[in-house]
A and B are shown apart, each in its own frame.
Chain A
Amino acid sequence: MKEGKLVKFNLQQLQNGHVAPFKLSKLLDPEASWDKDQLGDVLHWIRQVVALVCGLLWGAIPFVGAIWIVLLFHCTAMALADAMHLCHISFGYSFLSLEIIGQGFLVLSSGIIYGYYAIILKIDEEDFGGHGTLLQEGLFASLTLFLLAWILVYSLAHF
């Protein structure tokens, strides 16, 4: 199955000489073939949206304390995500569990990205440079955007 997707990905480039135009329906299609750049861009923007939403929420509630940033329980969260992937548990449940256990923006956003490409898109990470490459797409920009949104909403809404 995964070999088929890899061949399809390369043949498309060789035959067309360019990548097929991006369609929104591709975002939820596990059978779609992905170009490395397209997938990287999608993961980048998902991270930015998650960062903005988290920052606005964290600031509005407000959540206070550095624990909401740090990579606490990271290993636990990632191990849980791996176990869920093996058991084919739905994305919604893994999101909820990561949120409860992780309680940190970095864990949450990494968990969402991992859940998206591993469970919804069913991507073989080896074709795209491994988990590290996919998980670090847009990471620093999303962290700064999250901090910016969190600080701004907190400062303006609560003082």
Chain B
Amino acid sequence: MATLLSGFKYSDSLAVVGISICTAFLCEGISWILIYRTSSYKSLRSTIDKASKKLETMKTVDKPSKKSKTKKIDRVETSLKESSRDLSLSKLKSGAVVALVLFVVFGLLNSLFEGKPVAKLPFVPVSIVQKMSHRGLQGGDMTDCSMAFLYFLCSISIRTNLQKFLGFAPPRGAPNAGLFPMPDPKTN
């Protein structure tokens, strides 16, 4: 196996992908332990799903013509925003731990592959992307790919799909309320 892998010029790319996959599973495992298995997360998630489905039904089937219906929709929307904000807050703790793990893994990969192209790009990236794709590499060949860019691609694609597959993706109905909600213009 080692002989087969060493035959590839860019076998380091497989190491980066392998480490990214392991990191993705580790991060989701940490998130599951700290958030997803807790009853508060499950009830918040269920509340958001029900509220967003109720809101969709109210907006599509019963067209809001009366003032009372509009007020009802506003109440459900406000409750949905509050639940989404609570969900974001509950994810803070695990978010900090996951960020620390990702930082440590990035540092490890950096120490292993700094200054080495780990892959070859089949295109010349735009100048903004080159800052990441050619990070730490010598020479003017912009199709050399650094560990940072490959790790970025791995993180986004693998983690997003893993979250989706395991059912940990954020609920679709949750609006981007964030931690600091803006005042509702309808109430002013």
Q: Using a CB–CB distance below 8 Å, which chain A residues touch chain B? A: 6-7, 10, 13-14, 36-37, 40-41, 44-45, 48, 58-59, 62-66, 68-69, 127, 138, 140-141, 144-145, 147-148, 150-152, 154-156, 158-159
Instruction: Tell me, in angstroms, the Cα distance from A85 to B184 when the chains sit together.
Output: 40
Partner of A13, one of B8, B10, B53, B119: B53
Task: Identify the closest chain A residue to B62 (Cβ).
Answer: A10
Cross-chain contact A151 with B145 (CB below 8 angstroms):
yes
User: Does B17 sit within 8 A of A, measured CB to CB?
Assistant: yes
Besides A141-B160, A141-B161, A155-B9, 5 new A-B residue pairs in contact (Cβ under 8 A), listed by A number: A13-B53, A13-B57, A148-B157, A152-B119, A155-B119
Q: Which 8 A-B residue pairs are closest in the complex by CB-CB distance?
A: A145-B157, A155-B10, A141-B160, A144-B157, A155-B119, A66-B123, A144-B156, A154-B122
Q: Which residue of B lies closest to A146 (CB)?
A: B157
Query: Which residues of chain B have C-beta atoms less than 8 A from A59's C-beta?
Result: 122
A9 to B124, CA, bound (A): 47
Q: B60: CB under 8 A from chain A? A: yes
User: Do A154 and B120 have beta carbons less than 8 Å apart?
Assistant: yes
Pull 30 A–B residue pairs with CB atoms less than 8 Å apart, ordered by A. Answer: A10-B60, A10-B61, A36-B56, A41-B164, A62-B122, A63-B122, A64-B123, A66-B124, A68-B123, A69-B123, A127-B60, A141-B156, A141-B157, A141-B161, A141-B164, A144-B160, A145-B157, A145-B161, A148-B17, A148-B157, A151-B119, A151-B120, A151-B122, A151-B145, A151-B153, A152-B14, A155-B145, A156-B8, A159-B8, A159-B9
